[in-house]
Structure 1
Amino acid sequence: MKRFNLALGAVLIAAGFTSCKDEKKEMAKTEVDHYVVYVDSINDLDAAERAANWAAIDAEYQRRVTEAEAALAALENDADAQKRVNDSKAKYDGVKAQAETQAKAEAVAASGNGLADTLFGPGNVVGNDMTFAWVNKDNILSVYQKFYETFDAEKNEYTRQDLDKVKAWYEALDARKNTVEKEGLSADDNRKIAGIKLKFAPKFRWERMTAKGEENQDAKDKAN
């Protein structure tokens, strides 16, 4: 009888251990479920709402992904659970990229003319006609200097569309220079502007060429 009781006790302990282990796995699966559902809920949000609340969304995401990764350890190499977490991580990365892009675009829009403001300074209206009426013999050198220095510092960030705008504005500024020369532009300022133009031209050609090449490669990659 004693031997039977010992054997029964061992069975009960093993059953209890198994039950506890199964319970932990079920809880772990639930954590994975919560993580996947949360990422799906982010993806379903309106883009504007998502961008407006991104800090809180990301903070909550970091908590949930940490819990999901801990749950994976408890699930002991559960391939299905691992795949679900990996898929949700990829989905979140895509949503995060969209939110950051939108936030950047909104920041640029809020700044007024965006790209034009960075190249010519806030308040210096370029306008659709690009007459540069505010540029005169006294400030044209500083306008060229700011334009070139900003372009040189940020050229690696420009898209091909940005570079198209830069080209149009640069040509319009040059057209304005022809007028300003007749209004008394000093020889010294004219010489310095020529030096700026000499530095700008090859850098712009290179950036335009590489941007076009990258665009073509992206198109090929998408086609494949």
Structure 2
Amino acid sequence: MKNLIKPFALFSIVALLISCKDEQQVKVEKLTESYSKYLDSLTLEKSEEIVSKWNEIENEFNNKTTALKNEINQLDDKDDFEKKFAAVGIRYEDFKKDILVKKAEIDAKNAQLTRNKELFGSQFIHDDMKFEWVNKDNILAVYDQFVTTVQKNKDTYSREDWDEIKLLYEALDSRKNTVEKQGLTSKDNMKIAGLKLKFAPMYTVNRMGAKSEENANAKK
């Protein structure tokens, strides 16, 4: 009887080990499927929404990556799972590149809008080149804020910033031509002329300096 117990005990241990291996394989299969589906779900969301919560998404994906990799490493036969794991990783890197490009575009637009609101006030809206909110009563204040802000930040603007600022300045000047016909006082007009004389050389000198700095950096 004792001789029968030993083989049975050995069989039980082997069966238990096989069962544990099967359970681990099933666990990894489920995690791998969930890992892939998570990436699929991200690709279906609008890129703007992904960008707005990118740090959170990247952290979550990295956590899932680490967890799955640890589980795969516990398998003896893991080649197939490592291939599936790597394939999802490649898809994620391609997805990440596209999102980071979109994120850079959105960040640039937000920075541009922030800069323009500093130049013209909170009433300025994105891509506003008509300045219809500017009238005979507030145009002097708008010019004053514009020139004051440019003077304060002139050392931080890039050549591209200066080019965009010049376009906005010219658009504001175009609006001034309309406002003059709506009753702009000669007193305010004279003050605006003074501000324009202040801006012109500041633009020329600082844009030239920004361009020279960019050229110097490009040579490094």
Per the normalisation by structure 1, the TM-score is 0.58
Aligned to 1:121: 121
- Identify the match of residue 144 of structure 1 among 140, 144, 147: 147
Any unmatched runs of 5+ in structure 1? 214-224
Query: 1:103 deviation in Å?
Result: 6.0
What is the RMSD of the two structures over their aligned residues, measured on CA atoms?
5.0
CA contact (8 A) 2:162 2:207 kept: no
Aligned to 1:36: 36
Q: Percent identity, aligned pairs only?
A: 18
Any unmatched runs of 5+ in structure 2? 181-185
CA contact (8 A) 2:130 2:175 kept: no
2:22 equivalent to 1:22: yes
2:71 equivalent to 1:74: yes
- Identify the match of residue 206 of structure 2 among 180, 200, 209: 200
2:89 equivalent to 1:86: yes
Distance in 1 of aligned mates of 2:60 and 2:130: 52
The structure number with the bigger radius of gyration is 2
Distance in 2 of aligned mates of 1:145 and 1:129: 21
CA contact (8 A) 1:43 1:95 kept: no
Deviations 1:105-161 (A, max 9, x none): 8x849x9x665323333336896467987554x875553230243454353xx8x5x
Query: 1:75 deviation in Å?
Result: 1.3
Aligned residues: 199
Task: Give the match's secondary structure for 1:153.
Answer: coil
Of the structure 1 ranges 192-201 and 27-36, higher mean CA displacement relative to structure 2 is found in 192-201
